[in-house]
Amino acid sequence: MTELHYLDIQSASTLIRNKKLSPVEFTNALIERINKFDIYLNAFIRFSPEIALADAKRAEAEIQIGNWRGPLHGIPYGLKDIIDYAGLPTTAHSAVLKDNIAQSDSSVTKKIRAAGGVFMGKLSTHEFAIGGPCFDLPWPPARNPWNRDYFCGGSSSGSGVATAAGFLPYAIGTDTGGSIRNPATMCGIVGMKPTYGLVSRNGVFPLAYSLDHVGPLTRNVRDNAIVLNEISGYDAFDPGSRPQVGCDYTGQLNLDIKGLRVGVIRHFYNEDIVADHEMLTGIDNAVVTLEKLGAIIKDVKTARLQQYSGCNRIIMAAESYSIHQKWLRERPEQYGSITRERLFYGAFMSAVDYVNALRVREKLTQEFHSLFNEVDIIVTASAHDPACRIDDSKANDFIYSRQARAPFNVTGSPAMSVPIGLNSKGLPLGIQIVGKPFSESLIYRVANAFEFSTLSYRQHPDLNKLN
């Protein structure tokens, strides 16, 4: 109780339900921490303590009369600022949408509000979820809480920073080529990109319709499963949504992993693109840990990483340019330079390029899914490098494509980044756990077993060093 800012969702929920912790007390503690430290980290675009306190008071009043809505009741959260919250701007961190007021809640926002969530504000993102850490936008880029001079990952940058820094127990991000898993890896937290269609994207500003996913970022695996329980489900307002039988993603968490067949795609990080040596060592050590926990380890191979990445890049370029074409013609100066450059790449895509990429996508997806005939789960790299300095544009460009996250946007597979410790500079490292479609429960089971064997989730950045 002395460190409310690092209280996990399950513990906080139990205390709130049993009237041992006031949602108002919890919220005020986080407001105080945000006011003290976010000046150094820029996690929030719009911090909304007045809304948070109103939500917390409402949650507390309901608890007093015995109306407990579930595990997110009275728990603070934040939204990446491409996700609509009625009455507030959805800016996408861009001057283009600076005054864009959301007329209604996104579907995921509605679910969290119905669950009794306490809304703390809108979180920084890379501009339109595709730019890098830009310094020519109306708001500054978010910074890594482990060392503010370093990149925090993106594009769900503020979501990763706010969660790792103890500003929020969880945040909602989006992922089109790795944008939940990248900040999760670089900030040392857990980030889940669910199966395509599992979480509604209604009310979320799109980057690439056929690649976009919505998912949670948390500080531990159980919390992540708790949030996914609340936000998943079919939504007729999202054309990509897929009907699913109800599932409790916490149900397998306490099971061991003895006898599970774990495939390792090593060629993604030691052949196709060779990872930083500390990242490579960390991943290999994590695989050894899984083996010690009783998993049966087997190396598996799929198409080269560059094939997946190239397919993702072409589809994203074509689809994102179709969204931004009008604005890019009419007011290109309102975009940040990095965003403008990345979006204009789509102007040079032909219909043939796009259709061929879709054909390759189908082939890659079938090939990848066939691996699950011989293994139950797959692990591989997330990032190939730890965070670089945020002001080093060359380094940022260098590591931008050095990742193994994009393949699973191409295949639509569930994929999660889990922390595996720190490198010699005190910056987080991570591994990626991937399953076949709608196998989130199994991913959580493997991740939870690994987490408790390493206790990496107990490591937190020391924000007092930011002063």
Question: What is the per-residue DSSP string for 253-306?
Answer: TT---TT-EEEE-THIIIIISPPPHHHHHHHHHHHHHHHHTT-EEEE---S-HH
| pLDDT given for residue 273 in this prediction | 97
Catalytic annotation present for 104: no
**pLDDT value of position 458:** 83
Is this model's pTM higher than 0.75 or not? Answer: yes
Q: How confident is the model at residue 324 (pLDDT cuts 50, 70, 90)?
A: very high
Question: What are the extents of the domains in the chain?
Answer: 4-466
Structure tokens at 87: 């009455």
338-392 pLDDT, tens digit per residue, is 999 999 999 999 999 999 999 999 999 999 999 999 999 999 999 999 999 999 9
Query: Which residue out of 80, 122, 193, 436 is catalytically annotated?
Result: 80
CATH match for 4-466 among 3.40.50.2000, 3.40.50.880, 3.40.50.10490, 3.90.1300.10: 3.90.1300.10
Distance CA 180, CA 157 (A): 8
Tokens of 359: 């054909």
pLDDT digits (tens, 9 = 90+) for 394-409: 999 899 889 999 999 9
Residue 1 pLDDT grade (very low, low, confident, very high; cuts 50, 70, 90): very low
Q: Which of 155, 241, 382, 413 is catalytic?
A: 155
User: How far is residue 388's CA from residue 413's CA, in Å, rounded to a whole number?
Assistant: 28
Q: Is 179 one of the catalytic residues?
A: yes
CB 151 within 8 A of CB 157: no
Give percent above pLDDT 70 in the chain.
99
Concatenate the DSSP letters of all residues of 26-66 into one string: HHHHHHHHHHHHHHHH--EEEE-HHHHHHHHHHHHHHHHTT
As a whole number, the mean pLDDT across the chain is 96
Quote the pLDDT of residue 55: 98
Give the tens place of pLDDT for each residue, 171-213.
999 999 999 999 999 999 999 999 999 999 999 999 999 999 9
Residue 155: cis peptide before it, omega within 30 degrees of 0: yes
Query: Which of 107, 156, 179, 382 is an active site residue?
Result: 179
Q: What is the 3-state secondary structure (H, E, C) of 131-175?
A: CCCCCCCCCCCCCCCCCCCECCCCCCHHHHHHHHCCCCCEEEEEE
Per-residue model confidence as pLDDT tens digits over 49-64: 999 999 999 999 999 9
Token pair for 336 = 């940040």
Range of weakest confidence among 31-45, 248-262, 276-290, 452-466: 452-466
- Are 186 and 92 in contact, with CB atoms under 8 Å apart? no
- Residue 80: active-site member: yes
Q: What is the pLDDT of residue 400?
A: 87
The Cα–Cα gap between 437 and 456 comes to 27
Please give the helix or strand (H or E) that residue 78 lies within, else none: strand 76-80
Of 13, 5, 91, the closest CA to residue 45 belongs to 91
Has residue 333 got a pLDDT over 80? yes
Count of CB atoms situated within 10 Å of the CB of 273 = 19
pLDDT more than 90, % of the chain: 94
Predicted local confidence at residue 224, as pLDDT? 98
* pLDDT digit string, tens, across residues 94-143: 999 999 999 999 999 999 999 999 999 999 999 999 988 999 999 999 99
